[in-house]
Chain A
Amino acid sequence: MKTANAIFINRGIMKLVKQPSAPIMGFAMSLFFLLVYNAGIGGVGNLEAFGTGGYLPFVFPIAIISLAMGSSAGAGQTLNADMQSGYFRRLYLSPAPRWILVVAPMLADTLSSLFFTMLLLAIAALFGVTFQFGMLSVFGILLLSLLWSLTLCGFSAGIMLRTGQHQSAAIVTNAVFPLLFLSTTFLPRELITSEWLLAVSWANPVTYILEGNRYLLAGTSPAEFFYFGLLITAVTSIASVVFALRSAKRIKI
């Protein structure tokens, strides 16, 4: 049934191509904030704590994180549309393994997120952002992006399947949003004066994704952040897929 799996993933991608508003909005917002942050407070990049790369490579990882947040609701919306139309039952009665019905839209969303991450990387390179380890850095950033995106897609799809309302897929975005501000998003740890914010940032998984990306871009963070970031996002992405699949068992056919 490898063919059926590929057909389902292809369908998920085509759904996004036909209705690209969510990923395009996510991309546009990420790019907008990247440019605004850099234009507004980019001058602080001259401080020593930002390394030699300046502010753009420092703030760039936030664009990748917010990109996945912007497009993660797509999987839930595809599933919801299929359930509302009754088509999910038709797909359920095909010889394809039933887990692929849930996983395929998540994978499609994740691939879409990866595509737009590559676009962001290309734009960043055009603006002079350098990659510490060349193509290895690019692959590392894409891997972190893939796992982070899968995490958000899985939880979004799972929540939608449990509630049966596509609006609820946005719960994940809303829940993750504050984490962006409880981290080293805008300033390196050395310049954060609040003790409680520093303490919270250590417990915030977003910190490890941000700093892991910074290790790969300008090399301003230690390698451990990248490895921890990989480990954390690998665990959360597995947990989110399991959550989505368990949620699918609750669907009333």
Chain B
Amino acid sequence: MTVEIEIRNLFKKYPNGTEALKGVSLDIGRGQFFTLLGPNGAGKSTLVKVMTTLISKDSGSFSISGMNPESNPAKIQHFIGVASQENEIDPTEKVENLLVFQGRLFGLSKAEATKRANELIELFQLSSERNKKASALSGGNKRRLHCALALVHRPQILFLDEPTVGMDPLARANFWDIITMLNRSQGVTVFLTTQYLDEADKHASEMALIVGGEIHFAGSIASFKKMVNPDGDLSLDDSYLKYIKSLNNNSISNNNEE
């Protein structure tokens, strides 16, 4: 396996004292569909922000495609596409203009950027919204546009942080069709964080579980299920719940013993 994303002993503490990452280490292979699971506040979004250079780490190291993103944040942006939890769109601009502008930022000529914008408008079924201002879009269409913007420059690695929040079932299905197509036919590496474990179970093959800023498990989804429930055949959702509940129970019993 060629390692695409390598993370070693990553620490991050926020100014308010919250230790979001406590020595996280992970290897994610090229072309993998990887999902990072964990409860709210576990450190998932912080890890994505560090790796995409939105925030800086305290210590440790990480590389993407063999490059150190922190030493050249501009260069790494050509390789990665990011769709985070919150919409990142200019509400005053029209759908097509936003996509063309995004393409221009990544060095496409105006003609290339327009062509790419048209492809993505078709792909994300936004044709009827093309000339609408982003502020006039429905919540689901805003999410579609937000995700389309992450794909304009054809990134090799996609960081998807809760990407389908706010999408209706049809939009979600359409979105996953696009992402799985990119993953399977174009070899795009996907790094997904989600609370919709059925989506992770259906599309991802590898996973890591992060709790309280520490990695509790890293491996295939199948092996996680087997670890949690050696005899049965639980879904990822049930396996995850069982594991987290057991952690909470252990924590309670440890506190009682103290």
Contact = CB atoms under 8 A, between A and B. Distances in A.
Interface string B75-101: 101101010101111111000000001
Interface in A46-99: 81-82, 85-87, 89-98
A7 interface: yes
Contacts, number: 61
A87 B107 CA distance: 19
Contacts of B107: 3-4, 95
Contact of A92 (B54, B87, B89, B92): B54
B50 to A, nearest CB: 11
A97 B75 CA distance: 10
Nearest to B109: A3
B91 A89 contact: no
A253 interface: yes
B88 A89 contact: yes
Contacts of A7: 101, 104-105
Contacts of B73: 98
Nearest to A91: B105
A85 B106 contact: no
B55 interface: yes
B172 interface: no
B16 to A, nearest CB: 11
Nearest to B87: A86
A215 B239 CA distance: 81
A18 B74 contact: no
Given A3-B107, A7-B104, A89 B74 contact: no
Contact of A82 (B75, B77, B87, B90): B90
A86 B88 contact: yes
B55 A87 contact: no
B211 interface: no
Contact of B75 (A86, A93, A95): A95
Contact of A95 (B49, B87, B89, B106): B106
A197 to B, nearest CB: 46
Interface residues of B, number: 27
A11 interface: yes
Contacts of B101: 7, 11
Name the residue among B53, B89, B107 with the largest chain A CB count within 10 angstroms: B107
B105 A89 contact: no
B90 A97 contact: no
Interface size class for chain A?
20 to 34
Nearest to B74: A95
Interface string B215-243: 00000000000000000000000000000
Contacts of A135: none
Contact of A89 (B54, B78, B104, B106): B54
Contacts of A89: 54, 84, 86, 88
Nearest to B89: A87
B141 to A, nearest CB: 16
A4 B107 CA distance: 7
A188 to B, nearest CB: 47
B74 A1 contact: yes
Nearest to B53: A93
B149 interface: yes
Interface string B100-119: 01101111000000000000
Contact of A93 (B54, B86, B87, B91): B54
B89 A90 contact: yes
Nearest to A253: B54
B54 A85 contact: no
Nearest to A92: B54
Contacts of B90: 81-82, 85, 87
B193 to A, nearest CB: 16
A253 B77 CA distance: 16
Contact of A96 (B55, B88, B105): B105
A7 B74 CA distance: 16
A18 B92 contact: yes
A178 B239 CA distance: 68
B32 interface: no
A93 B53 CA distance: 8
B114 to A, nearest CB: 14
Given A93-B53, A95-B78, 12 more contacts: A3-B107, A4-B104, A7-B101, A7-B104, A7-B105, A11-B101, A85-B89, A85-B90, A86-B89, A91-B105, A95-B77, A96-B74
7 contacts: A7-B101, A86-B89, A87-B89, A89-B86, A94-B77, A96-B74, A253-B49
Closest 10 CB pairs of A and B: A90-B88, A94-B105, A86-B88, A87-B90, A95-B74, A253-B54, A95-B77, A86-B86, A89-B88, A7-B104
